[in-house]
Amino acid sequence: MTSVGVVNELDNDLRSILPGEWFTFAEGRDWNALREVQQSVGSQAIVRALGRCGWIAPHWDVEHGGRGLPESDAALAIAHLDSLAVPRIPRGTGFVLAAPAIRQFASEETKRRFLPKIVTGEEMWAQLFSEPGAGSDLASLACRAVRDGGEWVASGQKVWTTLGHEADIGMLLARTDPDVPKNNGITYFAVDLRAPGVELRPLIQMTGEHEFNQVFLSDVRIPDSWRISPVNEGWAASNASLAAERITLSGQGAGGPQKRSILGGKTTDEVLALAHDRGLTPVQRQRLVEAWINAKTLGLTVGRMRGPAGSITKVMKAKSNQELQCLALEILGADVIGWDGGVKSEYARYVREFLRTRANSIEGGTSEIQRNIIGEQVLGLPREPNPWAGQPWTQVPRN
């Protein structure tokens, strides 16, 4: 099939999925009107329909939910979707985080079980990596999984599980061999979050919202067919997910007309519009110019820096987004005081988004850890001395 044929085939499917006015508004770059159309149709309804047609991941094999297109044609299709501002990322973390590990490490049976339902959004995923004693040092995790015939029995605690209360499947890292060095005894599983023994407890943010959860696993049974990595090789598989997470948090969008920051908060264009209405001091004007330059620079850079180098854009994006939200509040001044009562709702949103973006430099790996990755894996600087390197996990002191 020619490149023109790919686009024509995609357009035929889009015209059966989207209302006619979508194309008019997209071609005219009328984002406000397009946003209203998306709300009436439902972004995830669009994603599900695209997934059933194979356009969410057109380069994947057909049996995995794709169309089997060459990478060049798939990139052309994705670019065409983005040019029309069509949302294309299923809700949850399945497509962005779980799928890279599944495609690279899982058995063919496991791929066929999970990948098609990821692209259609039939199953929503959540991440079960971090623990109370294993966040930045993720390889120190203590959640255990013990083999029992054709199943595994998992017990332990996870924390900061985003949207776990809405998810169907969890991507679980568990220790399957405690007698080897910490990175070597971990296995990557999929786990049914509605299975007996799974308990979720909400973690309420300082905005008052419920986005994160604690997850307690008590003798949860997992079929071996739900194992994503080879036994004791989950660390490499987890790195596939974590690398994808860094790229996403450094600015890769989900498509759609919302034109929102992937990290939350107002975009540079929105703060520019606010500044036009409210006015700026000379210092604020300089900061806004710097924010605009940062946004353009990141837009040209994100996606090009793969592997450990993705930590560079992750750190830059977190810092610049936090600074931008802070500037937005300064421009509004006293109008944001008392945001939980009496203040206009449009200003209340600014404060909630400012508070939410405080997590940008923590989630997905703290900026401090990202700088370690940059120093050691990108610049080749020596690692910090570690007297426990190479020791079995059972012999390493833990908090």
Spatial distance between the Cα atoms of 394 and 142, rounded to a whole number of angstroms: 10
Provide the token pair at 18: 């989207």
Contacts of 372 (CB under 8 A, 6+ apart): none
Spatial distance between the Cα atoms of 319 and 323, rounded to a whole number of angstroms: 6
Is 245 labeled as catalytic in the residue annotation?
yes
The overall longest dimension of the chain from CA atoms, in Å, is 69
The beta-strand segments (E) located in the chain are 125-128, 144-148, 151-158, 169-175, 186-192, 198-204, 210-223
DSSP annotation of 392? B
User: Which listed residue (36, 245, 270, 346) is catalytic?
Assistant: 245
Q: 197-229: string of b/e by CB count within 10 Å (b at 16+)?
A: ebebeeeeeebeeebbbbbbbeebebeeebbbb
Torsion of CA 224, 226, 230, 232, to 10 degrees: -80
Spatial distance between the Cα atoms of 325 and 331, rounded to a whole number of angstroms: 10
Torsion of CA 149, 150, 154, 158, to 10 degrees: 160
- CA 166 to chain CA centroid, Å, is 15
Q: 354-371: string of b/e by CB count within 10 Å (b at 16+)?
A: bbbbebbbeebbebebbe
In single-letter form, the type of residue at position 72 comes to S
Q: 253-275: string of b/e by CB count within 10 Å (b at 16+)?
A: bbbbbbebbbbbbbebebbeebb
* Beta-sheet pairing, 125-128 with 151-158: unpaired
- CA 148 to chain CA centroid, Å, is 33
| 3-class DSSP assignment, residue 175 | strand
Spatial distance between the Cα atoms of 233 and 239, rounded to a whole number of angstroms: 11
79 burial level (CB within 10 Å; 0-12, 13-18, 19+)? exposed
List the catalytic residues.
245
